[in-house]
Amino acid sequence: MEQQYEHYYVPEQSRLPIFASLSLFLTVTSLGSWLNNIKADESGGTSASVFVLSLFFFMAVLYVWFSQVVDENRRGMNSAQLKRSYVWGMGWFIFSEVMFFAAFFGALWYIRNVALVELSEGPTSEILWNGFKSEWPLMITPDQAANGAAAVVKGPAENMSNPGISNWLGWLPFWNTSLLLTSSVTVHFAHTALKNDKKSGLFGFNSMLGLTVVLGIIFLFVQYAEYAHAYHVGLTLDSGAYGTTFFLLTGFHGLHVTLGTFMLLVQWLRSVLKGHFTHHDCFGFEAASWYWHFVDVVWVGLFIFVYLMG
Amino acid sequence: MAHGPAKGFTRWLFTTNHKDIGSMYLWFSFTMFFLGGIFALVIRAELFEPGLQIVKPEFFNQMTTMHGLIMVFGAVMPAFVGLANWMIPMMIGAPDMALPRMNNWSFWILPFAFALLTSTFFMAGGAPNFGWTFYAPLSTTYAPDTVTFFIFGVHIIGISSIMGAINIIATILNMRAPGMTLMKMPLFVWTWLITAYLLIAVMPVLAGVVTMMLMDIHFGTSFFDAAGGGDPVLFQHIFWFFGHPEVYIMILPAFGIVSAIIPTFARKPLFGYSSMVYATASIAFLSFIVWAHHMFTVGMPLVAEAAFMYATMLIAIPTGVKVFNWVTTMWKGSMTFETPMLFSIAFVILFTIGGFSGLMLAIAPADFQYHDTYFVVAHFHYVLVPGAIFSITAAVYYWLPKWCGNMYDEALGKTHFWLAFAGLNITFFPMHFSGLAGMPRRIPDYNPLWADWNMISSVGAFLFGAAQLLFLVIVIKTIMGGRKATARVWEGSHGLEWTVPSPAPYHTFTTPPEIK
Amino acid sequence: MLSNSKRSLVLSVVVGILAVMPVLASAGEWQYNMTEGVTSISKDVYDLHMLIFYICCVIGILVFGVMFVSMFLHRKSRGAVASQFHESLTLELLWTAVPAIILIAMAFPATSTLKDMYDSDDPEIDILVTGHQWKWRYDYQGTEVSFFSNLSTPSAQIDNEQEKGQHYLLEVDEPLVIPTNTKVRFLVTAADVIHSWWVPDLAVKRDAIPGYTNAAWTYVEKEGVYRGQCAELCGKDHGFMPIEVHVVSKAKYAEWLAGKAAQAAEVKAASSKTFSFDELYSGGETLYATNCAACHGGNGEGGVGPAIKGSKIATGGITDHLDMVINGSPNNPMMAAYGEQLDPVSLAKIITFQRNAFGNNMGDSVQPLDIVTYKQGQ
Ligand code: HEA
Ligand code: HEA
Ligand code: CUA
Ligand SMILES: [Cu+2]
């Protein structure tokens, strides 16, 4: 292939896509039957094991896929143009994630400002939900207000909201905010260090990136502690609109932190074990760090709308 | 790099070639169109006359739902992605799509996803029966268990679309041959670029809403349950925030196709190129702020109702600009009426009629009478069938010689057109009348008041279906052989895709072309 | 090539005309337009509809006219040579501005009609309309009057075993009754899934959303029977939950309401009465057909719901049976809590029927009082 201005690299045939599709299909299908079995009060049975296997299969395919991409890049097969395509790809992928979260933030906004108000003030609220008062965090569900002890959906006993600034030191979300904000700074330090080709040393790339990963992991533990506490005091997925939005927003964020931490960890391993990344060739790391910043911004949104204004 | 396609069926499984992938998308879409069409024929057969004849009401609902879902997600969207795959790299002088392996992944998810979706017919509880709009709580608390598979199916279809859209954006922004500035790109490329943005913005929202359903069904949350403080109308807001842009996803690439074909057969440059670009962008922007026109009767506050009405009416303006530009392109041209042109002209006329009924629906007080009647069904089939489907058909006739190197049989093509044209109008025009006369949609049986209109519709539907069989024959016949096509194919065609031989070589533009 | 395509054109036109023939033949008697309805709102809506329709027609004739002229004059076969013009800012501005003005002009009448529709304040009568799968319930606020309104078309007509009546699928066992010249407000809600209460002649269509209420209103001057249907997909029998509104003079309305109230009192009284087995059984038969057969089958053979014939619950202990019917199924919301929907007399009849029909032959019976006691015991 002659090159006139830039060298295109069109990969050869690949088995990866079809395996990725197959394994994705198996994963969701088995997860679906597992969930349905649970709902029908049966045990997960084979579908649970199939799910685990398929998920493993899927991750293995992704692993091979990413290794191959990394390998091609190391062998210098990727043109500057292809690298730009990766940049666009990652950028728009993150945007799609933003829209995914937007749906959940939108739901939170709507429930608080439209649904609950209507439930307590609508033309016949005394017929349908007699005695229901709109409040946030929603401690007494409409069902509870109207049907008392016979209610199916009951509100939580406690909420996780801002306990007042004087109590922040004992408040996990405050610590989580600090952790994530710090980690955004450390990942930025890692980036600058890499730009200066400073990979080792206390403020070098490896240690800064490693620190970020550690902060991410601590965050996840704290989040876990927060959930354990919530369940302990009776705030669960089924405690009405508050539990719903609280767990879904923080939960999806938590999943994204998990993914982000994993991505950073992989980059760290690549750097430490394989010596990858130089200041002009570090897309893998950059992509992971953008993702990390995104996860951080989402958290700030959560902290404000779920915790502070909750 | 290999010079030709690999041998055997693994060529299709493992391919990274945009042309192979484009062909697979198109064939997949055609298959789904037939499947969805067969469901439509079941609907039309049941509605041929009043009374329950062929299917039970619960199965009828499954037919309606799956017809809508398959046509939208299985037929129209993949067809446009297929065309994008085939044409965009050739139109902008790129050797392939930006991310070829991911491209193949985007495709192969689809057959699996639709296999999952259709397999629900054979499961206990049957296929989804809550309409393609799957309003909660009919789709959550009251749904058959198979809804779980529906949800995951939608998830992976969404993943496929998002990856496809990212690929298209990266290709268009990053792979253009030197000199191919944005404002030199063919309109098809422009409309697809904007469509891809729409996809990335709204498919995740669809994923979000089905995730909420999943949580409500399996994990006891209360998104859509008033007892816990949720709201079924919340579902509709989120769904239509996706759903309205979705309908433009199904029409913007069509605008691009027609903007390529009409100038070719009018032998005259497209009139108002830049205003076409701006109009497309305006439509895309407006599509985000009109969603609640599908919800005029849910009881929104008056101000919201009025605001959504005004915003919806505004869309008529940029769309009008497009229609007027096409008409002016034809004006003082030197026109011939080959099959692609016939389909394109029918597109302009019939889509406009569908747009008019859309505008009528946009008038909120009047929509209280139209909503959920066959008038709406008439509206959206006029924008989707002569809109999306006709444009795709036109594109196939227009570019088929480029793809396979043979000319299609013009006489057969024209027969196909006239049969389809007649069949379509006989099917869908009477729906305006039955709808205005008060016939609700999604019902398996009805008062004899509407019997005559329904009978005509059903006859038309079978005629239209037969026309599509002819289409299949024509396409196969052309692939098998026929008069050899020249590189330029059409006397009036312009653009990079016509500079390469027909059939287009397996790899085109491995070195970037010169753009004047 | 040309002659081929001409031939195909002729062919398709012929096919087209054949298919449209019946329309042309009897066009006169067909309803093909929106009803004008019988309220001032419905007439406003109709006028609005016609106005937009005519505007679209005019624009359509202009646009398509230009197209057809161009297709006729500027065809290559007539020797037309293509000009090369391709831009005109003036034109673009013109065809942006003119539609904008038309749209603004249309927005005014639309907004004012919309305002009127929303003005449901100060009603003289309030009726709570509740959508159930698949029937409507009407509660006249401030009175004891409350009843369900079920499809009354016999299933033989639906199954094509009997000639279809004029009001096929648009008729109910107990219509909604409202007086003339009165502002009536409908508070629309639902018990299970979303329904939509629609009567075209009144131009009232409101979604019935479980857990929420929507207000709509009407003011009818003309006596008459007005029919409508549920307008939101609500499951299997969405097509089978019609609405029938009888608008009667104020005097007749008062009489009807009094009668209904008396009936309600009677039912209450009957709750403490003891019925004979036959009274219960035969009453249960009809009630079963209207309320339960949709899911459990006309012969108890089952359908969406399980078979009643030989059912464990219908042939088991009475308490379980009472619990299932009064409180609904904990596992499947389709089996609703009928304790709220039906009065104790009807419940006693249905349960007695279920326990003794279809070969269940339990030989026992349930009295209204049993129901009352059971409900109080909860
Ligand atoms: C390709 C898909 C497509 C397209 C392009 C459109 C285009 C439009 N649609 Fe449509 N629509 C659907 C697909 C589409 N729609 C579907 C699938 C549904 C039903 C979903 C469901 O419930 O299942 C639906 C339903 C739907 C509703 C809800 C109806 C109801 O349920 O009650 C409304 C209401 O406002 C609406 C409005 C419009 C408008 C104003 C446009 C405009 O974009 C049209 C603009 C075009 C023109 C107006 C014509 C050309 C313009 C001129 C010639 C200029 C001059 C004209 C004037 C000034 C009048 N549509
Ligand atoms: C792009 C989208 C698309 C397309 C192309 C179509 C195409 C058709 N649709 Fe539509 N339709 C929808 C999208 C689409 N539809 C949607 C979104 C809904 C709403 C669903 C909902 O309410 O949830 C709907 C709903 C809908 C209804 C209302 C159902 C109801 O409310 O209960 C009807 C009724 O007639 C209908 C009919 C048809 C017909 C006859 C065609 C025809 O054009 C189909 C033609 C194709 C074929 C017939 C197949 C090809 C031929 C063969 C397989 C050969 C065999 C045939 C013969 C020998 C004759 N559709
Ligand atoms: Cu009730 Cu449809
Ligand atoms: Cu819309």
Question: What is the rounded average pLDDT of the residues C159-182?
Answer: 93
pLDDT of residue C374: 85
> Closest Cα to atom 8, ligand 1: which residue?
B358
Tokens of C371: 């129901």
C198-255 tens-digit pLDDT: 999 999 999 999 999 999 999 999 999 999 999 999 999 999 999 999 999 999 999 9
C125-263 classified as CATH 3.30.565.10: no
Q: What are phi and psi of B429, to 5 degrees?
A: -65, -45
pLDDT of residue C110: 96
More confident residue, C359 or B343: B343
* DSSP secondary structure letter of residue C238: G
User: By residue range, what is the domain housing residue B247?
Assistant: 18-499
Atom of ligand 3 nearest to the CA of C231: 2
Per the annotation, the verdict on B244 as an active-site residue is yes
Tell me if residue C335 falls in helix, strand or coil.
Answer: coil
pLDDT of residue A1: 33
Residue with tokens 């993150």: A94
Nearest to C39 by CA among C116, C130, C141: C116
C195 lines ligand 3 (CB under 6 A): yes
Tokens of C359: 């070969």
Lowest mean per-residue pLDDT among A18-27, A129-138, B115-124: A129-138
Question: What is the rounded average pLDDT of the residues A63-82?
Answer: 87
C216 lines ligand 3 (CB under 6 A): no
B509 in a structural domain = no
Of B64, B140, B280, B319, catalytic = B319
pLDDT of residue C29: 53
Does position C153 have pLDDT exceeding 50, yes or no?
yes
User: Which residues in A180-189 are b (16+ Cβ under 10 Å) and which e?
Assistant: bebbbebbeb
pLDDT of residue B43: 97
Cis peptide before B513 (omega within 30 of 0): no
Does position C321 have pLDDT exceeding 80, yes or no?
yes
CATH topology of domain C271-376: Cytochrome Bc1 Complex; Chain D, domain 2 (1.10.760)
pLDDT of residue A8: 60
Per-residue confidence at C22, pLDDT binned at 50, 70, 90?
very low
B244 Cα: distance to centroid of ligand 3 (angstroms): 24
Pocket test for ligand 1, best of C45, C63, C233 (most atoms within 8 A of CB): C63
Which of 81-120 (A) contact C at CB < 8 A? 118-119
Those residues whose C-beta lies under 8 Å from the C-beta of residue A260, and which sit 6 or more positions away, are A216, A288, A291, A292, A295
B140 in a structural domain = yes
Of B20, B46, B216, B246, catalytic = B246
Tokens of B91: 């139109």
Per-residue confidence at A198, pLDDT binned at 50, 70, 90?
confident
C276 class by beta-carbon count within 10 Å (0-12 exposed, 13-18 middle, 19+ buried)? exposed
Which of 250-279 (C) contact B at CB < 8 A? none
- Cβ–Cβ below 8 Å for B425 and C16: yes
Q: Say which of B217, B229, B241 has its CB closest to residue A240.
A: B229
> Closest Cα to atom 16, ligand 2: which residue?
B68
What is the count of structural domains for chain B?
Answer: 1
Tokens of C349: 């009849």
Tokens of B509: 């533009």
B113 in a structural domain = yes
B504 Cα: distance to centroid of ligand 3 (angstroms): 54
Question: What is the rounded average pLDDT of the residues A155-171?
Answer: 85
Nearest to B463 by CA among B44, B8, B13, B22: B44
Does position A288 have pLDDT exceeding 70, yes or no?
yes
Q: What are phi and psi of C208, to 5 degrees?
A: -100, 110
Q: What are phi and psi of B344, to 5 degrees?
A: -70, -40
pLDDT of residue A7: 57
- Cβ–Cβ below 8 Å for C86 and B270: yes
Per the annotation, the verdict on B246 as an active-site residue is yes
B452 in a structural domain = yes
Q: Which residues of chain B have pLDDT under 50?
A: 1-2
A227-249 tens-digit pLDDT: 999 998 889 999 999 999 999 99
Tokens of A23: 């394994």
- Cα separation, C34 vs C198, in Å, equals 14
Give the Cβ contact number of residue A264 at 10 Å. 24
pLDDT of residue A6: 53
C368 lines ligand 3 (CB under 6 A): no
CATH architecture of C32-75+88-119: Orthogonal Bundle (1.10)
Which of 4-33 (A) contact C at CB < 8 A? none
B513 in a structural domain = no
B295 Cα: distance to centroid of ligand 4 (angstroms): 10
Does position A36 have pLDDT exceeding 70, yes or no?
yes
Whether A127 contacts chain C with CB within 8 A? yes
CATH number at residue B187: 1.20.210.10
Tell me if residue B297 falls in helix, strand or coil.
Answer: coil
C202 lines ligand 3 (CB under 6 A): no
Residues B158, B161, B164: CA angle, nearest 5 degrees = 150
Per the annotation, the verdict on B18 as an active-site residue is no
Question: What is the rounded average pLDDT of the residues A182-191?
Answer: 94
Domain positions in chain C are 32-75+88-119, 125-263, 271-376
Residues at CB less than 6 angstroms from ligand 2: B 34, 37-38, 40-41, 43-44, 64-65, 67-68, 71-72, 75-76, 131-133, 377, 381, 384-385, 388-389, 427, 441-442, 457, 461-462, 464-466, 468-469
**Among the bound ligands, the one closest to the CA of C239:** 3
Question: What is the rounded average pLDDT of the residues C35-64?
Answer: 94
Mean of the per-residue pLDDT values of chain A:
89
Chain C residues in contact with A123 (beta carbon < 8 A): 187, 213, 215
Cis peptide before B318 (omega within 30 of 0): no
Nearest to C157 by CA among C168, C146, C147: C168
Q: Say which of A12, A95, A243 has its CB closest to residue B16.
A: A12
Alpha helix positions (H), B250-301: 252-266, 273-286
Q: How far is C213 from chain A (nearest CA, A)?
A: 6
- Cα separation, B497 vs C93, in Å, equals 33
Does position A303 have pLDDT exceeding 60, yes or no?
yes
Nearest to B196 by CA among B262, B151, B256: B256
Does position A217 have pLDDT exceeding 60, yes or no?
yes
Per the annotation, the verdict on B86 as an active-site residue is no
Q: What percent of chain A has pLDDT over 70?
A: 96
Which residues are paired to C127 by β-bridges?
C140, C186
Question: What is the rounded average pLDDT of the residues A160-178?
Answer: 87
Chain B residues in contact with C45 (beta carbon < 8 A): 365-366, 368-369
Atom of ligand 2 nearest to the CA of B76: 1
Of B132, B275, B499, B507, catalytic = B132
Whether C205 contacts chain B with CB within 8 A? yes
B40 Cα: distance to centroid of ligand 2 (angstroms): 4
Which of 300-329 (C) contact B at CB < 8 A? 304
- Cβ–Cβ below 8 Å for A103 and B205: yes
Question: What is the rounded average pLDDT of the residues C59-85?
Answer: 91
B73 in a structural domain = yes
Per-residue confidence at C27, pLDDT binned at 50, 70, 90?
very low
Q: DSSP assignment of C232-279, as one string? A: S--STTGGG-EEEEEEE-HHHHHHHHHHHHHHHHHHHHHTTS---HHH
Atom of ligand 2 nearest to the CA of B388: 1
**Among the bound ligands, the one closest to the CA of B315:** 1
Which CA distances in Å does A264 have to A55, A68, A206? 21, 18, 11
Q: Say which of B16, B156, B226 has its CB closest to residue A28.
A: B156
- Cα separation, A124 vs A146, in Å, equals 13
Tokens of C185: 């407000």
More confident residue, A13 or C45: C45
Amino acid at A298: V
Amino acid at B260: A
- Cβ–Cβ below 8 Å for B418 and C1: no
Whether C213 contacts chain A with CB within 8 A? yes
Cis peptide before C134 (omega within 30 of 0): yes
Contact C195, C171 (CB under 8 A): no
Does position C266 have pLDDT exceeding 90, yes or no?
no
B430 in a structural domain = yes
Residue to mutate among A7, A29, A112, with most B CBs inside 10 A, is: A29
Question: What is the rounded average pLDDT of the residues C120-130?
Answer: 93
Of B176, B268, B294, B416, catalytic = B294
Q: What are phi and psi of B225, to 5 degrees?
A: -125, 115
* DSSP secondary structure letter of residue C221: -
B515 in a structural domain = no
Q: What is the dihedral of CA B69, B70, B76, B81, to 10 degrees?
A: 100
Mean of the per-residue pLDDT values of chain C:
88
More confident residue, C37 or A12: C37
